[in-house]
A and B are shown apart, each in its own frame.
Chain A
Amino acid sequence: AAGVIQSPRHLIKEKRETATLKCYPIPRHDTVYWYQQGPGQDPQFLISFYEKMQSDKGSIPDRFSAQQFSDYHSELNMSSLELGDSALYFCASSETGTALNLYGYTFGSGTRLTVV
């Protein structure tokens, strides 16, 4: 079965550079969520989108922005990168009205961002 696809799997950037992470949800899933997991920490919710509109916002820095496109894929744009942005970034998707509360999310494998 198709899963949530994230690209790239690994990314190394220098301080003050920009990074773009991509997420392709499971077909028919209309909601996308982004999480940040720092080393040894639990995942922290960043932002979510439903039908291309932002649906919820968590602890996302102003340097970060995200959007969901017409094909439901999402991109997380991160500018002026800092060393503290080094983390595993997860994307998850769900089908509204059914999946989240009943089945939980389906997570992608994550993008490991290293800022040097």
Chain B
Amino acid sequence: AQTVTQSQPEMSVQEAETVTLSCTYDTSENNYYLFWYKQPPSRQMILVIRQEAYKQQNATENRFSVNFQKAAKSFSLKISDSQLGDTAMYFCAFTEGGGNKLVFGAGTILRVKS
């Protein structure tokens, strides 16, 4: 069974600085997809960024980028120029290629301080 591990329950960062959230996963599949979701206090689940396992190039979406290390099964999220609105719970999630369901990590609470 696939598992997703987020080892940082909570993180803090100063506004405008950079922070990296860690995620590791375990799978025997070769074709899969990884996601980072943001859940602000409103509890809405918002897709931040995604990565296809067959792509070596790290995904980037504006201030958000990932460091995907397939051999190490690591998928960290880097947030640059942190903003107060980035304060939220961040979930790393996995789905196998052709799969149906998302498997989530336990989440990391990120607090951006002014």
Q: Give the B-binding residues of A (Cβ under 8 A).
A: 31, 33, 35, 41-45, 48, 55-56, 58, 88, 90, 92, 100-107, 109-110, 112
11 additional contacts, CB 8 Å, given A100-B100, A101-B52, A106-B47?
A31-B100, A43-B91, A44-B104, A45-B101, A48-B101, A88-B43, A101-B97, A104-B35, A104-B93, A105-B47, A105-B102
Chain B residues with Cβ below 8 Å from A101 are 33, 52, 95, 97-99
Can you list 27 pairs linking A and B with CB atoms under 8 Å apart?
A33-B100, A33-B102, A41-B106, A42-B91, A42-B104, A43-B45, A43-B102, A43-B104, A44-B104, A48-B101, A100-B95, A100-B99, A101-B33, A101-B95, A101-B98, A101-B99, A103-B47, A104-B35, A104-B50, A104-B93, A104-B102, A105-B45, A106-B47, A109-B42, A109-B44, A110-B44, A110-B45
Chain A residues with Cβ below 8 Å from B44 are 107, 109-110
Q: Is B106 in contact with A42, judged by CB distance below 8 angstroms?
A: yes
Chain A residues with Cβ below 8 Å from B42 are 109
Chain B residues with Cβ below 8 Å from A45 are 101-103
Question: Complex Cα distance A107/B38, Å?
Answer: 11
Q: Is A42 in contact with B97, judged by CB distance below 8 angstroms?
A: no
Chain B residues with Cβ below 8 Å from A41 are 106
Q: Is B107 in contact with A42, judged by CB distance below 8 angstroms?
A: yes
B93 → chain A, closest Cβ, in Å? 8
